[in-house]
Structure 1
Amino acid sequence: MASTVLLADIGGTSTRIARAGADGRPFDVRVEANDGHATLEELFTAYFEATGGARPEAGVFAVAGPVDGDAVKLTNRAWSFSRPELARTLGLARLQVFNDFVALAHGVPTLGRADLLQVGAGKAVPGAPILVCGPGTGLGTAQLLPHGDTFEVMPSEGGHVRFGAVMADEARILAHMVRDLGSVSVERVLSGSGLVRLHEILAGEALTSQAIIRAALVADGPERETCHVFLRILGRILGDYALLFDARGGVYIPGGVAAAMAHLFAESPFRAAFEDHEPFAARLAGVPTHVVVHPTPGLAGTAAIGRRLLASMA
């Protein structure tokens, strides 16, 4: 019987690692900057050395990239691994690997009111599909399909659809990005690096995404204007996706960028842009949108999967 499961949410910028027991509650939680480690194996070795204790016998990992088999490659970082080989290296009898937003979707039903910030009105339709989509290093997407007391998670790579302009400033943004990047996907705009690009185009100033958000939270200046443009575009895209997925069960918006901007959503054009999809504005007005402010939602998702994995190994 495996007594604990190793959890990991492996992003493009940082990795969150923890253990969990049969109750599914993460402990020994650590957040590691990926730049501090040459490989995943080195990162996990550092975690075990820092936390000590018996090694887990099972693992559930979420990765920021598609998972179509045993060969896994991150989208926004030059890391790749073989699931069986990594399991052997870490001494894991069982290792399950999921796309990070698939794991996030598994965690959505476990989130409490304190983990969410609702933006605007709307009330979930019981049993209707749920959209999980949000900006971090990239723009992740997944769909949650309830089936009575259970649910099915459908992966998606919606962040890589092509970006289109609706307003004049968006046309300017798109023109700049096409010149610099070629074909422009949605996550080129709606991500941490996308926020940096937006601010350079709109304000002519090169700042980190963290600096832009910090300034926007305390003053009504160009940084807040950039964040409002970002949130307006995010609202429009999530409205598009909510119609595509018929997500009347609600829209959940995780990701480091979204969480950092959480208190900017209400005063921004986000919700107006989300609903502005005639002839279905009234339909979207009924869809609730929630920013996920849980500090480690990816671990909440891997823990939910890990609890079931431990039960199956008992």
Structure 2
Amino acid sequence: MALTVLLADIGGTSTRIARAGADGRPFDLRVEANDGYETLEDLFNAYFEATGGIRPQLGVFAVAGPVDGETVQMTNRGWSFTRQDLARTLGLQELTVMNDFAALAHGVPTLTRADLIQVGVGKAAPAAPILVCGPGTGLGTALLVPQGEEFEVLPSEGGHVRFGAVTADEARVLAHLVRDVGPVSVERVLSGSGLARLHQILSGETLTSQIIIRSALQGQRAERETCNVFLRILGRILGDFTLLFDARGGVYIPGGVAAALAPLFADSPFREAFEDHPPYHHRLAGIPTHVVVHPTPGLAGTAAIGRKLLAVRA
């Protein structure tokens, strides 16, 4: 009987689940809204019931939160589990669990030109670190470090560093957030909920991030201005992180919010803010930035790991 692997990208808002064989290509892909389930176990049982067939023996799960040991607590959802107990419940012989952006970073080398939109110019330096950072439910961050022909993936919780203001409108945003939520992390601004907060502060309107982006794409002035401020801040923060890690191998920007905003990047202040880090403007100007528009980049990462696990057991 051919071995298969259960793949899952468990985000704060939704979970993407699939299965894969030795070729690593996901099939039986389903996207589930987390709010529809009490527990993670309920979600997987619904998947098995919907897809049928023989259950996989192996699992590779990406989880939106730090993975430091057996017990995993998600950052933006009240779900927790132990790897051993979840594997037993799902009937898996072996379960690999990792941070969602670490898993996503594993998938970056497998992405094609069709999966990416380059913003600005620049050329990746060979054998240099690659930054993977982008907004979704939170702001995920990971680093790819070349190791010969392979990459070592370093997880990060960079989205939780403190947010600082460098312009008058950013100072206004920061003052509002300090008053409302206390200490302000970067992902309080650079996330789906952060975009909604930003728009409320700048315009006085309370809208969802989806409506803000859709209206901006339709040319609505206030929503477009909010998105421009958001992308300017994103560019500055990614420039900061790029300098921190000397990520001359390029910057990849995944996440549902980034993908939805992809058509707005080119005419926004994003790239200017990314490069505006004196005295390193020219250094950053030579580093390429890519928006990831692959529909399931987290599954691409878990599939890459799953393919290697199955190859060992072939």
Q: TM-score range by the shorter chain?
A: over 0.9
Q: Residue 92 of structure 2 corresponds to which residue in structure 1?
A: 92
Which residue pairs with 1:157 in the alignment?
Answer: 157
Q: Which residue of 1 aligns with 2:107?
A: 107
1:49 aligned residue: 49
The C-alpha deviation readout for 1:50-85, integer Å capped at 9, x for no partner, is: 111110000000000000011001000000001000
**Is residue 2–residue 57 contact of structure 1 (8 Å, CA) maintained in 2?**
no
| Residue number in structure 2 paired with 1:236 | 236
Q: Hey, what's the Cα distance between the residues in 2 that align with 1:114 and 1:192?
A: 24
Distance in 2 of aligned mates of 1:309 and 1:37: 29
CA-to-aligned-CA distance 1:117-143 (integer Å, 9 cap, x gap): 000000000110000000000000000
SS at match of 1:92: coil
1:267 is displaced (CA, Å) by 0.4
Change (3 A) 1:231 1:297: same
- Contact 1:233/1:270, CA 8 A, preserved across alignment: yes
Give the match for residue 278 of structure 1: 278
Q: Residues 281-296 of structure 1: matches in 2 within 5 Å?
A: 281-296=281-296
Q: Superposition pairs for residues 130-145 of structure 1, below 5 Å?
A: 130-145=130-145
2:255 is aligned to 255
Match of 1:201 in 2: 201
Contact 1:104-1:298 at 8 Å conserved across structures: yes
Instruction: Give the drift of 1:2.
Output: 5.7
Deviations 1:203-253 (A, max 9, x none): 100000000000000114100000000000000000000000100000000
Separation in 1 of the partners of 2:55 and 2:20?
12
Equivalent AA in structure 2 for residue 71 of structure 1? T
TM-score norm. by structure 1 comes to 0.99
Cα distance in 2 for partners of 1:56, 1:224 equals: 45
Q: Distance in 2 between matches of 1:193 and 1:177?
A: 12
Q: CA separation in 1, counterparts of 2:16 and 2:54?
A: 19
**Structure 1: segments with no counterpart, 5+ residues:** none
Query: What is the letter of the counterpart of residue 279 of structure 2?
Result: P
Does 2:298 align with 1:304?
no
By how many angstroms is 1:3 displaced?
1.4
CA distance in 1, matches of 2:103, 2:75: 16
Q: Which residue does the alignment assign to 1:182?
A: 182
Amino acid at match of 1:258: A
CA contact (8 A) 1:121 1:288 kept: yes
Distance 2:238 2:99 in 1: 20
Shift, 1:147, TM fit: 1.6
Query: 1:302: Cα distance to partner?
Result: 0.2
What secondary structure does 2:240 align onto? Answer: helix
Counterpart code for 1:270: F
SS class of match (2:291): strand
SS in 2 for 1:261: helix
Counterpart amino acid of residue 92 in structure 2: L
Give 1:230's aligned amino acid. Answer: F
2:69 alignment counterpart: 69
Contact 1:2-1:56 within 8 A present in 2 as well: no
Give SS of 1:233's match: helix
Query: What are the Cα deviations for residues 268-314 of structure 1, in whole angstroms up to 9, with x where unaligned?
Result: 00000000000000000000000000000000000000011112233
TM-score of the aligned structures, taking structure 2 as reference length? 0.99
**In the alignment, is the contact (CA less than 8 A) between 1:2 and 1:313 conserved in 2?**
no
Secondary structure, aligned partner of 1:60: strand
Letter in 2 for 1:292: V
2-side partners of 1:21 and 1:70: how far apart?
Answer: 26
Partner of 1:104: helix, strand, or coil?
A: helix
Residue aligning to 1:217: 217
CA RMSD of aligned residues (A): 0.7
Structure 2 residue runs of 5 or longer lacking an equivalent are none
Counterpart of 2:265, as a letter, is: F
| Amino acid aligned to 1:83 | R
CA distance in 1, matches of 2:85, 2:263: 43
Q: Distance in 1 between matches of 2:91 and 2:13?
A: 25
